[in-house]
Chain A
Amino acid sequence: MFLKSVPFAAALSLAMALPALADPVLYTSNPVPAYEAVQAAVKAQAGVNLGVITGGSGVLLRRIEAEAAAPQSDVFWSSSANTLGAYEQLFEPYASPALEAMMPELRYPGDLFLPGNLHVVTMLVNTDQLDGQEAPKTWADLADPAWNGRIIIADPANSSTGYTIVWGLSKLLDEATYKAVVANMVISGSSSNVPKGVAMGEYAVGLTYETNSYAYVDGGQEELTLVYPADGTFTSPEYAALVKNAPSGEVAKKTIDALLSKEAQIALLEVAFRRPSRTDIKVSDYVALPEIADIKLFALDEADAAKNREAFLAAWAALPKAGDVE
């Protein structure tokens, strides 16, 4: 059996080892509906099938780094500047014509990274799990000990969402309030567990981007509401980038153009609730989300957040949190 199967298997493996067709490949941590919308836009505008590899953004960036000698991917689409900043050498700038329609404040220096959409931090609140408590209206409300163990957030060490939120809270709140809020938090190793945990009623409040939360509200879970904190919330542009020496060459650039196109951004807004980075799309025409101008924002310095990452995470690790193991 062994002797017979070897030549057979060897022949098959050789046949499979031949390179796949020169279709572009996208590395992303984005969910299925989001990348399917992009695949459809790429098919329609560039006429090619976009292959997709998904994984945590850290894992994918590492993979691009490992593949630097012979890249397997063309486009990376995930993460905010505070995570991508450390991997600038893996990408090359691309001045896509679509950039003209972008909000200027979202553009990255040198157009090394291109803004694909804009994330807004929200609280997802499960009103069935409030136990008579009033729903929080501000970040400071979360300092109340009544929320102990009932707030879930993604681990800032592994998730750029978690990092953006905690970094923002440390800037927005005074130190005592910040520590009290952190002390009420339960940390999840997986960022997709945050909205899921609140939707399942495991937690009363989940801190994550509106795109992740709103899918559950849109799905018809009436007990869930999005809270945009009155003391100001945080935004973070999500970037797409052209991988250095992308194997599919010009097609890779067309893929980025398609990802940034008005059609793709509208599709992303409709199916995945991704707030566009373009100025020519009115959000409320497509989904029941507030316009960005109507949300009170608290500005953050992403470069500062990237630079002080290590020190901040070390201090964060030392803070007591809910659900700590003794």
Chain B
Amino acid sequence: MMTQIRTPWFWLTVLSLALLGLFVLYPLANILTASVIGDGPNGWSRLMDNPKYLQAIWNTLILATAVTGIATLIGVPLAYVTARHSFPGKGLIALLPLITLVIPEVIAAQTWLMMLGNNGLITRALREIGLRLPSFYGWFGLITSMSFIYYTYVYIGVVSAIARFDVQLEEAAQSLGTAPGISRIKVMLPVIMPAVLASALLVFTMTVGNFAISMILSHRLPLLSVVTYQAAVAEGAADITMQSTLASVSVLIVMVVLFLNRWIVRRGKYEIVQGRGAKPQPLRGIKGAGVALLAGLVVLISLLPLISIILGAFTASRGPVMQWGNWTLANLERVFVTAPQPLINSLTYAGIATLISIGFSAVVSYLVVKKPNVLTPFVDYVSAIPLALSGTVLGVGLLASFHGGWLPLSGTAAIIVLAYVIRRMPFGMRNGQATLHNIPNSLEEASISLGVPPVASFFKAVLPVMLPAIISAGILTWTTTVAELSASILVYSGGRETLPIQVFRLIDSGLMAYASAYGLVLVAVILIPIIVAARVFRIDVFAVK
């Protein structure tokens, strides 16, 4: 203990914990305490008495499990073929899934309905040949649409882990007499497992917290996020018992899953000594075409919403009615000339938030993985809490905590940045930790033993090795931050609308043409850093080549 206190790492841990305490625990505590105190019977007994709430919790668990399973089954093989093989159209296939991250979920749900709803294109075509699909409202639609959006997180989380995987391990296994296929699974799987689990955890929590798609597609199927929202609307701010109780349930679910995830990662520790990545093997002929076709199909399905945004952005409209085939630039003119404020706001707030998130999560994941002390487990747990908070819960908590008082942030741009950082910092954290598990301790120990002080060693020896991972985490943070909606829509103030808020407003008003134009610009804003990283800085962030 005493030796720990003397290191600068210990004091950095204390500082991190203090910041997390103020901006994560304090707002959360404000909400959680309300589930047991307050007027009337406490929230937990009311929860137990109401079969609808119990049904909602059960449904949410089933949905999250199904979506996580399917998203992993799509994401991991796609990551594997892109990282280890080259095939026709690979460049596009490796890049395009990123776009699905940024398509507003409301637009995605709308597009799925255009295809598979009661009056959808595919539904009607199948009906004509005598096939009746189950209603898209409910399980079918929820599982399909969420799986085809969230597989992207698995893909991104796993692709860099597979690309960095040291092929020498695999070659060693083969030279020891194991068959190529089996050796690959036996040696690679344990090493990429932390990344797979981290991504799966992310998908699970995002499904539990998903609001936009659940709202549109669940209809009468009770889901936790929807009943929480309904309770919040019905209760108001005077009595927040039921909404806090339901929010606490989702927090508990995710904490349990996180605990399982850590337990599995702890059981096996794998470090890669040199990290010589594999050179992608070309796939030719039938096999190459088959892989390209399958991967292309997955990507195409998840890109349908993007296609509808592109067409919509250039389509003329009168009120909510689209005049398909009648092209115009008026919608984009609105984004850049008539009403550019949302674009400017998004760039400013998300830019600052990304810098803060990345700096903070790089330091904290380093502390947690490489410099554990008595406090780091707490830092780890607390920094993961925002994953378990839906945006709505976070927004309400921030407003309740930083309105007036000694830190009056509400009504300022700072609270939007704060909401962004709290919500998205765990993304970088999960990926940072997964990467650090693969960087050997010997590297830094060598630097220190050569006389370089610990903090300087971090900057000179560890940081450069982490850099590619930090940059790719930075881009992931940027993409998800720019697209953040559910927390910022609660804390923003007049004139501080961001692009997603504007898209949401316009969709809610039924103005798909304008919404598509803002949505298209949002997609561009997200893609530009990825392209710049790849082209200008030659950083192969997502193993595209």
Taking Cβ atoms with an 8 Å cutoff, the residues of A that contact B are: 1-3, 5-6, 8-9, 12-14, 16-20, 23, 25-26, 31-33, 49-56, 58-59, 61-63, 65-67, 69-70, 72-73, 86, 129, 155, 157-158, 186-190, 192-193, 195-196, 199-203, 212, 215-216, 218-221, 321, 323-325
Contact = CB atoms under 8 A, between A and B. Distances in A.
Given A1-B358, A62-B237, A193-B216, 17 more contacts: A6-B356, A19-B412, A31-B509, A50-B494, A54-B505, A65-B237, A66-B403, A67-B403, A70-B408, A129-B119, A157-B234, A187-B220, A195-B510, A199-B320, A201-B119, A218-B321, A220-B318
A51 B494 CA distance: 4
B215 A190 contact: yes
B447 interface: no
Contacts of B323: 220
B492 interface: yes
B510 A192 contact: yes
Given A72-B410, A195-B510, A218 B319 contact: yes
Nearest to B320: A215
Contact of A157 (B230, B318, B409, B494): B230
Interface stretch (B180-188, B254-262, B288-296, B359-367): B359-367
B117 A5 contact: no
Nearest to A34: B509
Query: For chain A, what secondary structure do more than half of its interface residues adopt (helix, strand, loop), or is it mixed?
Result: mixed
A22 B399 CA distance: 21
Interface string B218-236: 1111100010001011101
B109 to A, nearest CB: 10
B216 to A, nearest CB: 6
B403 A32 contact: no
Contact of A321 (B220, B362, B403, B412): B220
B220 A323 contact: yes
B317 A20 contact: no
Interface centre among A2, A23, A26, A50 (most CB of B within 10 A): A2
A19 B411 contact: yes
Contact of A66 (B220, B400, B417, B514): B400
B484 to A, nearest CB: 16
Contacts of A65: 236-238
B282 interface: no
B305 to A, nearest CB: 15
B414 A16 contact: yes
A18 B230 CA distance: 34
A325 B226 CA distance: 15
Interface in B394-421: 399-400, 403-404, 408-414, 417
Contacts of B117: 200, 202
Nearest to A58: B233
Contacts of A187: 219-220
A25 B494 CA distance: 6
B410 A20 contact: no
A121 B66 CA distance: 41
A20 B220 CA distance: 42
30 contacts: A9-B356, A13-B414, A16-B413, A18-B412, A20-B496, A23-B494, A26-B494, A32-B514, A33-B509, A33-B511, A52-B494, A63-B399, A67-B399, A72-B493, A86-B236, A187-B219, A189-B218, A190-B508, A192-B509, A202-B117, A203-B118, A215-B319, A216-B319, A218-B319, A219-B321, A220-B321, A323-B219, A323-B220, A324-B220, A325-B222
Interface string B99-133: 00000000000000110011100000000000000
A212 B511 CA distance: 12
Contacts of A189: 215-216, 218-219, 226, 230
Interface centre among A14, A51, A325 (most CB of B within 10 A): A325
Interface centre among A189, A215, A221 (most CB of B within 10 A): A189
B51 to A, nearest CB: 12
B495 A31 contact: no
B508 A31 contact: yes
A215 B412 contact: no
Nearest to B226: A189
Nearest to A158: B233
B227 to A, nearest CB: 10
Contact of A17 (B222, B355, B412): B412
B173 interface: no
Contacts of A1: 358-359, 362, 463, 470
A5 B510 contact: no
B489 interface: yes
A219 B511 CA distance: 11
B510 A215 contact: yes
Contact of A325 (B138, B215, B489): B138
A72 B358 CA distance: 32
B236 A61 contact: yes
A53 B494 contact: yes
B26 interface: no
B61 interface: no
Contacts of A62: 232-233, 236-237
Interface string B2-40: 000000000000000000000000000000000000000
A62 B318 CA distance: 34
A16 B506 contact: no
B362 A199 contact: no
B359 A221 contact: no
A16 to B, nearest CB: 4
B235 to A, nearest CB: 8
B352 A66 contact: no
B137 interface: yes
A6 to B, nearest CB: 7
Nearest to B489: A55
A65 B400 CA distance: 11
A69 B119 CA distance: 49
Contact of A9 (B221, B230, B238, B355): B355
Contacts of B525: none
A223 to B, nearest CB: 11
Contact of B494 (A2, A3, A20): A20
Contacts of A323: 135, 137, 219-220
B350 to A, nearest CB: 13
Interface centre among A20, A25, A52, A187 (most CB of B within 10 A): A20
B319 A66 contact: no
B195 to A, nearest CB: 22
B495 to A, nearest CB: 5
B405 to A, nearest CB: 9
A311 B138 CA distance: 28
A195 B320 CA distance: 10
B363 A2 contact: yes
B544 interface: no
Given A5-B355, A32-B514, A69 B495 contact: no
B490 interface: yes
Contacts of B113: 200, 202
A14 to B, nearest CB: 8
Contacts of B317: 219
B453 to A, nearest CB: 14
Contacts of A200: 113-114, 117, 119
Contacts of B238: 65
B215 A196 contact: no
A193 B109 CA distance: 12
A227 B408 CA distance: 51
B404 to A, nearest CB: 5
A256 to B, nearest CB: 16
Nearest to B52: A317
A137 to B, nearest CB: 24
Contacts of B118: 201-203
